[in-house]
Chains A and B, each alone.
Chain A
Amino acid sequence: MLSISNLHVSVADKPILKGLTLDVPAGEVHAIMGPNGAGKSTLGYSLSGRPGYEVTDGSATWKGADLLGLAPAERAAGGVFLSFQYPIEIPGVPALTFVRTALNAQKRARGEDEVSAPAFLKLVRAAASALKMDFDMLKRPLNVGFSGGEKKRMEILQMVLLEPSLLILDETDSGLDIDALRIVADGVNAMRSPERAMLVITHYQRLLDYIKPDRVHVLAAGRIVASGGPELALELEAEGYDKYLPVAA
């Protein structure tokens, strides 16, 4: 269970999250929807420990363990994976090297055996093929010169290989055409399991046609202001976020 209670987060001394409370049981997919500037990306960054996102109050635990006191790499080894809205380019580090370094660092942190190079290549080939990615692309520096869609597939490829237990998808559909969206969603859906929890952050309902949520939450002005079933997403699509926005004084 991901359990977030009364979370307050400031960026450059400006409060962004203002008492966010949310529970996501393992095995469930929850969507976080909201207008621009509501704090959706801040939630993802806060849970994964990005510097500059200062937690001023509240708590967040995953499987009972406190997340907020851990370094970002420790959270990752503990199962937290954030799929970035804008994946970062890493010049000079081939994608294959990057993912293998990350996987083995996580395994070391958990006291597990590292994956050998041949075993790793076998895993990558299978995962890349399922995501319809060109294997040769993985020999290039991570994300450098990749199209928006290729970067998003690269995120899902890493997710498949790292096997996280808490998946946070930040605007994963942005920059994807319908074919790419279907492939990415298939990759995500294949990760669904009773041990995993997923937080799907999205502005638009479209992604939720492909990744069906168990619950939908509306995030506005730094708090969860409404929660419901999948029908809430359709309602938001039809009516917009206006009724959740703070009334101008």
Chain B
Amino acid sequence: MNALNLKDASSFPSRRVEAWKYSDLRRYLKEAPQPSAATEIEGEGPFSTLGGEAMAFANGRAAGADAYVAAGEQTLRLRFVSDAIETGHTATARIAARPGARLLLLESHEGSGSAYVAHNRLDIDVPAGAEVTRIVLCDEPADVLSITEVEVRVAPGGVYRQTTVTNGAKLQRQATTVLHGGQDAQVWLDGVYEMNGSRHTDLTSVVRHVGLNGITSQLTKGVVTDTARGVFQGKLVVERGADGTDARMGHHALILGERAEVDAKPELVIYADDVQCAHGNTVGNLDEAALFYMQQRGIPADDARALLTQAFLIEVVDRIQHEGAREVVREWLEQKL
């Protein structure tokens, strides 16, 4: 399978490709889309109140630099803005940090067009002693296709934290591949999805531990209603010699509509002997006893459901260490519920 290239229809994966079996891109995209036209970027994006520098792409075109190297303590707002109609575009960005740097990367996928195809590729380098926190907020129309592929290299002793928050699209995929260098390097990969209508999102990750004593912690939670479909694919690979690895993965979903769907595929592939790996996966419904209890105290049924749903998801949001980013995410979710 060739890398996805919007100009080459033969690269569009169908469900026959194992990694895409729950997200059949070819079903919706059979031919290469016409390229999107240039556009202007309006506003400052959802993270504007947190300041920092900005790197923006408008319908795939960089409005300025497309590479960034963080030194010291910095905040970068990375904006993928799409207002195209029935056309496609690809954006490519490179982010790196110097040793010892602390970068808060606030990434937004801001869509306002319709039926566009967005393809974003992101490359992130985390050297020893550096810490990169990536918060991703996806807010796109219900009829678009949006694929983001991220390659992260975490050197021995680096720290990478990621939280992806999304309400999906017609077909949306946020795929993260992490090369985990170990030697006390830490990787946190979290996700929240909250979808209604016929939205679809796919949170896919592969973390490959190649060094000693690496730590990975993953927690994804999702809620689907109507005919929405959530996909979680998490793969943890511990290579030969990566002893002392501690990797944990959790995915928990609520299905609140009879025709909504969640597909979860956790995978552990372990070639080392002395490792601690675990995964947990649950799919359920809101607790009926809790719903009645809340109503008995005067909270109307719809409000009770929203409160319980929010309480379910908030565990992931609470893991965001940066207070400002956490509040933006919390408010965004509250508004969507």
Q: Which residues of A contact B (CB under 8 A)?
A: 48-51, 71-73, 75-77, 80-82, 84, 87-93, 98-99, 101-103, 105-106, 109, 141, 158, 162
Chain A residue numbers with a CB within 8 Å of B297 are 76, 81, 98-99, 102, 158, 162
Q: CB-defined interface of B294-311 with A at 8 Å, one 1/0 digit per residue?
A: 111111110110011011
Interface residues of B in 258-315 (CB under 8 A from A): 287-290, 292-301, 303-304, 307-308, 310-312, 314-315
Cα separation A92 to B286 with both chains bound (whole Å): 13
Q: How far is the CA of A141 from the CA of B315 in the complex (A)?
A: 12
Query: In the assembled complex, how far is the CB of residue A166 from the closest CB belonging to chain B, in whole angstroms?
Result: 12
A44 CB to closest chain B CB, in angstroms? 10
A88 to B296, CA, bound (A): 11
B295 touches A71 (CB 8 A): yes
Are A84 and B298 closer than 8 Å at their CB atoms? no
Q: A77-B298, A92-B310, A105-B298 are in contact. Are A50 and B303 (CB under 8 A)?
A: no
Contacts of A98 in B (CB 8 A): 294, 297
Q: Is the CB of A105 within 8 A of B299?
A: yes
Contact between B310 and A88 (Cβ–Cβ < 8 Å)?
no
Residues of the B chain whose Cβ atoms lie less than 8 Å from the Cβ of A103: 298
B290 touches A92 (CB 8 A): no
Nearest B residue to A82 via CB reads B296
Shortest Cβ distance from residue B334 to the other chain A in the assembled complex, whole angstroms: 13
B214 CB to closest chain A CB (Å) equals 30
> What A residues does B310 contact at CB under 8 A?
92
- Once the chains are docked, how many angstroms separate the CA of A71 from the CA of B296? 9
Separation in Å of the B297 CB from the closest CB of chain A? 4
A77 to chain B, nearest CB (A): 5
Determine the distance from Cα of A98 to Cα of B289 in the docked complex, in whole angstroms: 15
A72 touches B314 (CB 8 A): no
The residues of A that contact B301 with a CB separation of less than 8 Å are 71-73
Residues of A within 8 A of B307 (CB): 93, 101
Cα distance A84–B312 in the bound complex, in angstroms: 23
Q: Is the CB of B298 within 8 A of A73?
A: yes
Q: In whole angstroms, what is the CA distance A84 to B288 when docked?
A: 15
A37 to B288, CA, bound (A): 22
* Other-chain contact of A72, B295, B308, B311, B312 (Cβ < 8 Å): B295
Contact A106 B298 (CB under 8 A): yes
Smallest CB gap from A76: residue in B: B298
Shortest Cβ distance from residue A222 to the other chain B in the assembled complex, whole angstroms: 22
A77 proximity list for chain B (CB < 8 A): 298
Q: Are A73 and B299 neighbours in the complex by a CB distance under 8 Å?
A: yes
Interchain CB contact under 8 A, A102 and B294 = yes
B315 touches A105 (CB 8 A): no
Q: Which residues of A contact B296 (CB under 8 A)?
A: 48-50, 72-73, 75-76, 80-82, 84
Within the assembled complex, what's the spacing in Å between the Cα atoms of A80 and B295? 11
When the two chains form their complex, are residues A51 and B292 in contact, meaning their CB atoms are under 8 A apart? yes
CB atoms of A90 and B298 under 8 A apart: no
- CA–CA, A159 and B311, complex, Å: 23
Known: A75-B296, A76-B298, A92-B308. 14 other contacts (CB 8 A): A72-B295, A73-B304, A76-B297, A77-B298, A81-B297, A82-B296, A84-B293, A84-B296, A88-B290, A101-B307, A102-B299, A103-B298, A105-B299, A141-B311
* Contact B298–A102 (Cβ < 8 Å): yes
Contacts of A91 in B (CB 8 A): 311-312
**Which chain A residue lies CB-closest to B293?**
A88
Q: Which A residues lie within 8 Å of B287 (CB)? A: 88
CA distance A220 to B311 in the complex (A): 41
A102 vs B295: C-alpha distance when bound (angstroms) = 8
